[in-house]
């Protein structure tokens, strides 16, 4: 029983992190039809910047703010200067995001070196909550609540606000949206920035949760891919459900079949593709 409770809890807290990664990825994919290979790099850069700010200022929340803004800016620069001109050319866009991912990977190595880093969180987050016979780390509870809240805000923004409606219009029919006077280039710029921001946020959270080291960017990317393929590309609720499924499967997979741990991701992905190629929440 203890095994199941603990593993489920760990799986859900990992899912919170995966949602931040996959949510941004799916937003970008939905609006721009770009598979952003540099998305793991946004996470990594966010984490490193957050680490530096936190250890320099001692303020955990300032780290979030600075890292999110910096990565958001990075994403916007990338969209504006590198990707905009190639709309609709999938393969060329992917080559560019790969180039940028390699560049950022090497840049991080130059600036922050190759040693793994971790962040000390404020003492009230480092405690554990006792619930009956079980202990739950507060940091992980905060992560789960934070990701849930973020999902609610994003969903509300996309479904209920005027700007959200513009984004949905740009996703469904770009030309029609432009014809109606929606500034689609501004929408794509904003969405790319927001997607990058979410990954950067995840990165700072991730430093406290699982540390930071070179190569983590490409290690996490498969998870973002699988989350989005399962959930449906471009769908925010899909990213949430996908993250929970992948988070749980990965945790139980690692515990029960350590040798096949990455491969356990393949099974749900294959199943979804066989039954519903557009993903659980995808349109089409």
Partner 1 sequence: MSAAMLDRVRIGRPTAWILLAALVVLVVAPHLLPQYVVILLTQSLVYAIVAMSLDVLIGYSGLGSLGHAAFFAIGAYATAILVTQHQGGFGAALLLSTVAGALASAVIAPLALRAAGIYFLMITLAIAMCVWGLAFRWVSLTGGDNGITSIPRPEIGFGLDMGVAVEFYYLILLFFLACLLLLFLLIRSPFGQTLIGIRDSESRMQVLGYNVWLHKYLAMVIAGAFAGLAGSLYAYFNSFVSPSDANIGHCMELVLMVSLGGPGTLVGAGLGALIIVFLKNMVSVYTKRWLMVLAAVYVVTALYAPEGIMGLFKRSASGGDRPK
Q: Which stretch binds partner 1 (CB under 8 A): 10-18, 126-134, 136-144, 259-267?
A: 259-267
Instruction: State CA 44 to chain mean position distance.
Output: 11
Q: Which stretch binds partner 1 (CB under 8 A): 9-17, 29-37, 67-75, 138-146?
A: 29-37
Question: Between 137 and 253, whose beta carbon lies closer to partner 1?
Answer: 253
* Nearest distance from C-beta of residue 130 to partner 1, angstroms: 34
Contact 60, 219 (CB under 8 A): no
Q: Which stretch binds partner 1 (CB under 8 A): 128-136, 150-158, 174-182, 265-273?
A: 265-273
Contact 167, 26 (CB under 8 A): no
103 contacts partner 1 (rule: CB under 8 A): yes
What contacts 34, CB < 8 A, 6 or more positions away? 28, 83, 90, 93, 94, 97
95 contacts partner 1 (rule: CB under 8 A): yes
Q: Which of 121, 194, 196, 269 binds partner 1 (CB under 8 A)?
A: 269
116 contacts partner 1 (rule: CB under 8 A): no
Dig out the tokens for 85 from the structure: 């001109």
Largest CA distance in the chain: 61
Q: Which of 105, 158, 188, 235 binds partner 1 (CB under 8 A)?
A: 105
CA distance 183 to 220: 33
Q: Which of residues 210-239 bind partner 1 (CB under 8 A)?
A: 218, 221-222, 225-226, 228-229, 233
CA distance 80 to 90: 16
φ, ψ of residue 89 in degrees (nearest 5): -105, 85
Dig out the tokens for 48 from the structure: 């490193």
Instruction: Give the interface size with partner 1 as a residue count (CB under 8 A).
Output: 46
The interface mask with partner 1, positions 36-75, x = CB under 8 A, is: -x--------------------------------------
Q: Which of 86, 165, 169, 280 binds partner 1 (CB under 8 A)?
A: 86
Return the beta strands (E) in 39-175 as ranges.
128-131, 134-137
CA distance 231 to 241: 6
Question: Between 156 and 263, whose beta carbon lies closer to partner 1?
Answer: 263
* Nearest distance from C-beta of residue 258 to partner 1, angstroms: 7
Contact 239, 22 (CB under 8 A): yes
Question: Between 95 and 163, whose beta carbon lies closer to partner 1?
Answer: 95
259 contacts partner 1 (rule: CB under 8 A): yes
What contacts 175, CB < 8 A, 6 or more positions away? none
Element at 205 (helix H, strand E): helix 184-210
Q: Which residues bind partner 1 (CB under 8 A)?
A: 33-35, 37, 82, 85-86, 89-96, 98-103, 105-107, 110, 218, 221-222, 225-226, 228-229, 233, 258-263, 265-266, 269-270, 273-274, 277
């Amino acid at each position: 029983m203890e095994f199941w409770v603990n593993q489920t809890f760990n799986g859900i807290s990992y899912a919170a992190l995966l949602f931040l990664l996959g949510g941004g990825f799916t937003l970008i994919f939905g609006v721009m039809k770009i598979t952003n290979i540099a998305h793991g790099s946004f996470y990594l850069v966010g984490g490193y910047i957050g680490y530096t700010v936190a250890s320099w200022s001692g303020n955990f929340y300032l780290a979030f703010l600075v890292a999110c803004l910096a990565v958001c800016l990075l994403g916007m620069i990338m969209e504006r200067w590198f990707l905009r001109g190639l709309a609709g050319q999938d393969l060329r866009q992917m080559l560019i995001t790969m180039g940028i991912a390699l560049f950022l990977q090497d840049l991080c190595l130059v600036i922050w070196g190759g040693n793994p880093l971790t962040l000390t969180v404020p003492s009230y987050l480092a405690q554990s909550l006792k619930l009956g016979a079980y202990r739950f780390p507060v940091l992980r509870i905060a992560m789960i609540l934070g990701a849930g809240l973020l999902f609610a805000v994003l969903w509300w923004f996309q479904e209920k606000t005027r700007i959200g409606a513009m984004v949905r219009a740009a996703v469904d029919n770009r030309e029609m949206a432009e014809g109606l006077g929606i500034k689609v280039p501004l929408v794509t710029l904003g969405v790319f920035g927001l997607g990058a921001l979410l990954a950067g946020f995840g990165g700072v959270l991730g430093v406290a949760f699982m540390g930071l080291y070179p190569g983590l960017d490409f290690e996490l990317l498969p998870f973002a891919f699988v989350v989005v393929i399962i959930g449906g590309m471009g769908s925010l609720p899909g990213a949430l459900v996908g993250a929970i499924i992948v988070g749980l499967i990965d945790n139980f997979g690692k515990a029960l079949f350590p040798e096949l741990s990455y491969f356990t991701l393949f099974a749900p992905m294959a199943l979804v593709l066989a039954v519903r190629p557009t993903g659980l929440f995808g349109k089409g």
